[in-house]
Amino acid sequence: MRPEMMHGFSPRHSYRELPLAPRYKELGEPYHTPVPATPLPEPKMVHFNAPLALELGLDISEAQSPKLLDILAGNRPWPKYEPSASVYAGHQFGAWVPQLGDGRALLIAEVRTPAGARMELQLKGSGPTPYSRGLDGRAVLRSSIREYLCSEAMHALGVPTTRCLSLVASPEPVYREAVETAGVVCRVAPSFVRFGQFEFFYQNGQRQHLAPLAEHVIEEHFPHLKDRPDRYAAWLDEVVERTAKLIAQWQTLGFCHGVMNTDNFSALGLTLDYGPFGFMDAFRQYHICNHSDFEGRYAYYAQPEIGQWNCSRLLRACLPLLSDREEEALEIATGIFERYAPVYGQAIMRRWVDKLGLYELRESDTELVNGFLAILQRGKNDFTRSFRNLSKVRTDSEEPAVGAREEILDLEAYDAWIADYRARLRSEGNTDDELRALRMNRINPKYVLRNHLAQAAIEKAETGDYAEVARLVRLFARPFDEQPDMEAYAESPPDELRHIEVSCSS
């Protein structure tokens, strides 16, 4: 046995030797267009994701390699792979846009990991493509830091998501609301196929291209369905289910995506395209994290419904795959569409009761959950901290919940709710407070990527100091753990930092 295969270790490869698996590339045009990246002047590695590199099978001793830095900056192609940009369309804020596409992103490699998985690597901010619509194709360092931090934070929270391998900075000026500097992230996912890719071919009358794309997605990512005669319907059913469960996770973490356009929804049910996202500080049902969202289409409360609406757009685009007869296709699609609401309802209630530390899910728990959220809303209490603090409630005492009520405004309502909560716990024999606290603290994070924390890292990085980015990466790799030296990062933001605005350029 080779030494590297002993003790559970897998062989690590130079980026030059990492096995390629160019399955998406084999689709060819019109699904994507070959295009080189635009060279980035004076690139500097802000952060390299060593744990993800190991999962990909990369030799992390090459993290400081100038040639690898050039690849991750877009200054040279991945060996033996021609980069390309995908075409797609989408509904943006509910309005149909007939062509969008990877305007500032390039697929630079498809690799096979030591575990046998196929992963795609994509640069974001690597310059213009045929789909840039006259724009520069760049990303600013600010938005690149936010995407890098949040995708890794979401991964550690157990949320299906794209991830980031690297973050590269450059002094190249980029013109947005103000002049900023450039950043490039290397995003990693099993696939970057979006709802909008199916919409593009359906709406533009190129319906012959739907089946090859669907076959690719099914064969590569839903192989258990590939031999079924109803594989298209079965795949769409799974996408709808995954999307519903994904948004249930968003809601119970207080995560707002900010730009839930159909081109930003994954055909694998991943969180895709981090832009004007935000984790709520004070709980507000109508919280809007994107100041470009003037009508609140993507407000916190609206996310579940928008998820279902987006699924309806995917189903409509895939009608030709479901049956040659329009009436039958509509009937199948309607049946799949109607699965969303019950899947979402069951998923979110299961997560809410888990957050409360309950074993069973009872019909009356909807009232219990809503009662707690109403108290938080009236007091504008911190969403993350309030759920985390519930683990301090004891069932062996009728005394006020020390450590759990100090930040609550409506104490009378809160204490009444705690009495009901204790009674609910006791009714199912859930009185081992230490064990319950352990369970609750594995689903209620202590640390989330609050906007003011990201902004502090951005401001330091813009001066060339990347230490805060690295500190946050370490912190959010363990979001559920007590980290005594990082207590300040679990605090609510000070008043002057509560209203940091993010937009679509974020």
Annotated binding site for ATP: 101, 103-104, 124, 136-137, 187, 194, 273
Residues in the chain: 506
Q: How much helix, strand and coil, in percent to the nearest 5, is found in the chain?
A: 45, 15, 40
Distance CA(150)–CA(159), nearest Å, equals: 11
What residues have CB less than 8 Å from 368, skipping those under 6 apart? 356, 417, 420, 421, 424
The catalytically annotated residue of 237, 263, 293, 382 is 263
Annotate 180-241 with DSSP letters as a single string.
EEEEEEEEEES---BHHHHHHHHHTT-GGGHHHHHHHHHHHH-GGGTT-TTHHHHHHHHHHH
- Print the SS3 string covering 77-146: CCCCCCCEEECCCEEECCEEECCCCCCCEEEEEEEECCCCCEEEEEEECECCCCCCCCCCCEEEHHHHHH
55 token code pair:
């999962």
- Strand positions, DSSP E, 330-475: none
347 three-state secondary structure: helix
Amino acid at position 213, single letter? L
Omega before residue 229 within 30° of 0, cis? no
Distance CA(215)–CA(219), nearest Å, equals: 6
Establish whether 263 is a catalytic residue. Answer: yes
CB 140 within 8 A of CB 182: yes
Annotate 16-78 with DSSP letters as a single string.
TTSPB--TTGGG-TTTEEE-PPPP-SS-EEEEE-HHHHHHHTB-GGGTT-HHHHHHHHTSSPP
304 token code pair:
């579940």
Omega before residue 30 within 30° of 0, cis? yes
326-337 and 303-317 are packed helices; what angle lies between their axes, rounded to 10 degrees? 160
Closest to 194 in 3D by CA, of 120, 135, 136, 258: 120
Distance CA(290)–CA(273), nearest Å, equals: 14
Phi, psi at residue 90, to the nearest 5°? 165, 165
48 token code pair:
């390299």
Q: Which residues contribute to the annotated binding site for Mg(2+)?
A: 264, 273
CB 391 within 8 A of CB 444: yes
CB 442 within 8 A of CB 371: no
Catalytically active residues are 263
